[in-house]
Amino acid sequence: MRLFECGTLVPGCDWHTRAEEDAEVTRRAVEHIRTAHQEDIIRESMVEAIKARIRNEPVVTTQA
C-alpha cells in the first residue's frame, strides 16, 4: 500500500491517503490540495512534490 501524508508538504495538515497505485494517491492528494488548501492552480512542481513524498506504508505486524 502506498501512502501520502499532506503534513510532509503542508506543515500542520493531518490529512493522509493511501491506495495501491501512486496515480490514485496523487489524484486524491491533488484534490485535497485544491479543496482543503484553496489552491485553484496545481502546478507541475506541486504534483512532483506530492509524488516525491509518496512512500510505502509501514507494515504493522502483531505477535501472537
Is 56 within 8 Å of 3 (Cβ atoms)?
yes
pLDDT 10s digits, 7-54: 999 999 999 999 999 999 999 999 999 999 999 999 999 999 999 999
Reference 18, options 60, 52, 55; nearest CA is: 55
64 — pLDDT class (breaks 50, 70, 90): low
Please tell me the predicted confidence (pLDDT) of residue 24: 98
**How remote is the C-alpha of 43 from its chain's centroid?**
16
Question: Which three cell numbers, joined as nine digits, stand for 63?
Answer: 505477535
Please tell me the predicted confidence (pLDDT) of residue 59: 82
Amino acid sitting at position 46: M
